[in-house]
Amino acid sequence: MKRKIITSLIIIGIVIAILMLLQNTLDNFKLRILNLAGIYVIFAVSMNLINGFTGQLALGHAGFIAVGAYTYTLLVMDSDLKSMNFFLEPIVPFLSSVHWPFLPAVIMGGLLAGLAGLLIGAPVLRLRGDYLAIATLGFGEIIRTVFTNTQSITNGSLGLKAIPMPKSFLFIEMKNAFTWWVWTAVIITVIFHFLLVSSSYGRALKAIREDEKAAEAMGVNIFKHKVWAMVISSFFAGIGGALLASLMTTIDPLMFRFTLTFNILLIVVLGGMGSISGSVISAVVVTILMEWLRFLDQGFMGLPEIPGLRMVVFSTLLLLVVLFYPRGLMGNEELSWNKITKMFQRFHMQPREVRK
């Protein structure tokens, strides 16, 4: 246990050191990708809790992200910005003068998303497998449709623009405060999920994934556990959504279509359902790859400009992984020192064995 704490502290230290280095050397565009990668880590890890660890295929993540993003935006904008945005139909009076600081607004976004998770999870988590998938997908779409139609609260399909970014981190003004916020949230999210899944609660979740009936026989309250997993998952999705709104500086309901859920699912599957470290690695790699692959859209090697080719390559990649490597990068195991050393040993051993 002690060793675990020490290694975790070392890893956190390394992450902070890397961040220090990166935020001083990277240009704005690359910094933005770094932030986006962090946000996707939060999305993927939280989705992995319900989909990978509990084994419930819930596809409503985009809806929870939308709740977080809209809550944050409406709380953090001052009344001038709001009156600028709501030119078609004025905002409802009780929201017009609300003006919260960054951190409380983000947490409120998470809380409301968690509440949405509770309201949605309580009825639909009695369903299983495909039915659960389609019902949660439906709820995600319902949330989006409601946001499109409540003109006086969300500004409807016009969206909200000029969302402010935080300028200070923990009351200290600095240049890249937002990056620090994002990656603090990432570290908290990852540590929380690690502790959660290694607790007795997490073992109960895994038991539900492996065999629901056996878990029930062992005295696990299945329904309660599933709903809690959903609430926690949607809470972190909401936090991520708030950060996403802040990063994008503009949101509209079309951002939160099923495609967003699908992108996150893709990250989770690539990283391995039921592996937090897998999700982290895959979220960072996928986000960077998505940007790097942009050259495909802009024309390369004499090919003309083909918009959308990037996504074709991407979905092909996903299909290939699902077909030939369904366990993903890490399967349901975690990255550990033992495994890394073993892997190196294996590489080292192979030639010798061949010689024999």
Partner 1 sequence: MTLQEFLQNFANGISLGSLYALIAIGYTMVYGILRLINFAHGEMIMVAAYIAFYTVFIFSMPWYISFFIAIIITTIVGILVERLAYKPLRSSPRVTILISAIGVSFFLQNLGIVLFTGRPKAFQVPTLFSQVYTIKGVNIVSLTFFIPTITVVLLILLVYVINNTKIGMAMRAVAKDYDTSSLMGIDVNKIISVTFGIGSALAAIGGIMWSMKFPQLTPTMGLMPGLKCFIAAVLGGIGNITGAVVGGFILGLTEILLVAFLPDLSGYRDAFAFILLILILLVKPTGILGEKIAEKV
How many residues contact partner 1, by CB under 8 A? 43
**31, 176 Cβ separation under 8 angstroms:** yes
**223, 205 Cβ separation under 8 angstroms:** no
Q: How far does the chain reach from its first CA to its final CA, in angstroms? A: 40
Per-residue CA distances from 70 to 113, 135, 252, 278 (Å): 10, 22, 9, 29
Tokens 């061949």 label which residue? 354
Whole-angstrom distance, CA of residue 141 vs CA of residue 261: 11
Q: Does 223 bind partner 1 (CB under 8 A)?
A: no
Per-residue CA distances from 5 to 2, 18, 24, 277, 280 (Å): 5, 20, 29, 16, 19
Q: Which of residues 184-213 bind partner 1 (CB under 8 A)?
A: 213
Q: Does 304 bind partner 1 (CB under 8 A)?
A: no
Among 87, 323, 338, 353, binds partner 1 (CB under 8 A): 323
Q: Which two tokens stand for residue 195?
A: 């502790």
Torsions phi, psi for 123 (to 5 deg): -75, -40
Whole-angstrom distance, CA of residue 283 vs CA of residue 2: 29
Minimum distance of partner 1 from residue 189's CB (angstroms): 23
Q: Does 258 bind partner 1 (CB under 8 A)?
A: yes
CB nearer to partner 1: give 51 or 71: 51
Q: Does 7 bind partner 1 (CB under 8 A)?
A: no
CB nearer to partner 1: give 132 or 204: 132
Minimum distance of partner 1 from residue 144's CB (angstroms): 8
Contacting range for partner 1; rule: CB under 8 A; set: 87-95, 109-117, 256-264, 336-344: 256-264
Q: Does 330 bind partner 1 (CB under 8 A)?
A: no
CB nearer to partner 1: give 14 or 312: 312
Q: Does 130 bind partner 1 (CB under 8 A)?
A: yes
Minimum distance of partner 1 from residue 257's CB (angstroms): 9
CB nearer to partner 1: give 1 or 323: 323
Whole-angstrom distance, CA of residue 168 vs CA of residue 176: 8
Q: Does 146 bind partner 1 (CB under 8 A)?
A: yes
Q: Please name which of 55, 69, 31, 7 lies closest in space to residue 246, comparing C-alpha atoms.
A: 69
Minimum distance of partner 1 from residue 119's CB (angstroms): 12
Q: CB neighbours of 51 closer than 8 A, spacing ≥ 6?
A: 57, 58, 265, 268, 273
Q: Does 139 bind partner 1 (CB under 8 A)?
A: yes
Q: Does 322 bind partner 1 (CB under 8 A)?
A: yes
Q: Does 149 bind partner 1 (CB under 8 A)?
A: yes
Provide the binding-site residues for partner 1, judged by CB under 8 A. 55, 57, 123-124, 126-127, 129-131, 133-135, 137-139, 141-142, 145-146, 148-149, 213, 258-259, 262, 265-266, 269, 273, 306-309, 311-312, 314-316, 318-319, 322-323, 326
